[in-house]
Amino acid sequence: MESLKPEVKKEAKLKAKLDPAKDYTQDKDCVGCHVDGYGKQGGYTVDTPSKYLTGVGCESCHGPGKKYRGDHRKAGQNFEKSGKTTQRKVLVEKGQDFAFEESCNACHMNYEGSPWKGAKAPYTPYTPDVDAKYKFEFDKMVKNEKAMHEHYKLDGAFEGEPKFKYHDEFQASAKVAKKDDKKGKE
Ligand code: HEC
Ligand code: HEC
Ligand code: HEC
């Protein structure tokens, strides 16, 4: 959201033929990729700016959490009580998203002439034609520590497909969370 404010990132805006003096924070052609859950129930709307959820939110990558949150809790309890694991399939049925590359593409690869088949307006102004640095390489980007959140060790309550291809790698170097600040997405 910060980037949509006037006078912020002037040079980058000029490069993409945007107007650096303009306030884009209410612009329907921009906010969809720059805030969490735009156009979805419970997320950001232009009409209710008090509900701004700035930045790229959890649900842009993990899917809407309302339905699967309870399953995390239940699976965690079962695992703690009796060591019983739960299939990730259960989470997918409740809308949790494990197809991270598709999620990223919906914002990063969404431009005219993109090799990504799902591209449709409104498009991102930042394409590899504007500058080669805007080329999106999933395997590199998903490990970019500046853009991605840190990873925390999970207890192993879930198993089975779809398992994210870097799951084991991320878990191997994940931090140990204090019991009470677990966010419980998986
Ligand atoms: C389809 C999704 C999408 C839409 C729509 C979109 N953006 Fe973005 N925007 C992105 C992504 C992804 C990046 C990050 C690009 C990168 O750094 O590789 C970005 C980056 C930016 C940046 C920072 C560039 C930099 O180099 O620091 C600015 C400024 C920006 N967008 C402004 C806008 C404005 C203004 C609009 C509306 C006219 C808009 N965006 C619409 C996805 C989008
Ligand atoms: C809802 C849209 C959206 C989704 C989904 C999304 N991004 Fe982004 N991403 C952005 C925007 C917008 C920026 C630029 C923010 C800014 O500069 O204001 C950005 C910035 C980045 C950057 C920093 C680029 C740079 O050079 O500074 C990386 C890396 C990145 N995203 C990786 C990812 C990965 C990996 C995924 C998927 C797992 C992903 N993003 C999903 C919108 C999105
Ligand atoms: C840009 C995409 C993106 C965003 C935004 C995002 N995540 Fe993640 N998240 C991931 C990826 C990729 C993984 C790794 C999945 C795996 O290892 O199976 C992950 C893993 C997790 C995990 C599992 C444990 C871990 O640390 O690896 C939890 C919990 C989690 N995310 C919670 C959240 C919460 C809460 C938010 C919002 C505050 C959030 N995520 C925002 C992409 C994202």
pLDDT of residue 54: 53
Residue 78 lies in a domain: yes
| 20 cis-preceded (ω within 30 degrees of 0) | no
Confidence of residue 50 (pLDDT cuts 50, 70, 90): very low
| pLDDT per residue as tens digits for the range 137-171 | 999 999 988 778 888 999 999 999 999 999 999 99
Under 8 Å between Cβ of 50 and 164: no
Q: How far apart are CA 4 and CA 34, in angstroms?
A: 8
Give the domain range for residue 66.
62-181
Residue 28 lies in a domain: no
Residue 21 lies in a domain: no
Q: Find, among 148, 149, 153, 147, the residue nearest to 177 by Cα.
A: 153
Residue 47 lies in a domain: no
| pLDDT per residue as tens digits for the range 92-118 | 999 999 999 999 999 999 999 999 999
Q: What integer is the mean pLDDT of 44-71?
A: 71
- Asked whether the predicted pLDDT for residue 136 surpasses 50, the reply is yes
Q: How far apart are CA 152 and CA 176, in angstroms?
A: 6
Best residue for ligand 2 mutational test, from 9, 108, 166 (most atoms within 8 Å of Cβ): 108
Q: What integer is the mean pLDDT of 35-57?
A: 56
Residues composing the chain: 186
CATH of the domain at 142: 1.10.1130.10
74 alpha carbon to ligand 1 midpoint, in Å?
38
55 alpha carbon to ligand 2 midpoint, in Å?
9
Best residue for ligand 1 mutational test, from 126, 133, 135 (most atoms within 8 Å of Cβ): 126
| 162 cis-preceded (ω within 30 degrees of 0) | yes
Q: How far apart are CA 116 and CA 105, in angstroms?
A: 7
Q: How many domains does the chain have?
A: 1
Q: What integer is the mean pLDDT of 64-83?
A: 93
One-letter amino acid at 184 equals: G
Q: How far apart are CA 38 and CA 60, in angstroms?
A: 9
Q: pTM for the complete prediction?
A: 0.91
Residue 29 lies in a domain: no
- Asked whether the predicted pLDDT for residue 45 surpasses 70, the reply is no
Confidence of residue 52 (pLDDT cuts 50, 70, 90): very low
Residue 114 lies in a domain: yes
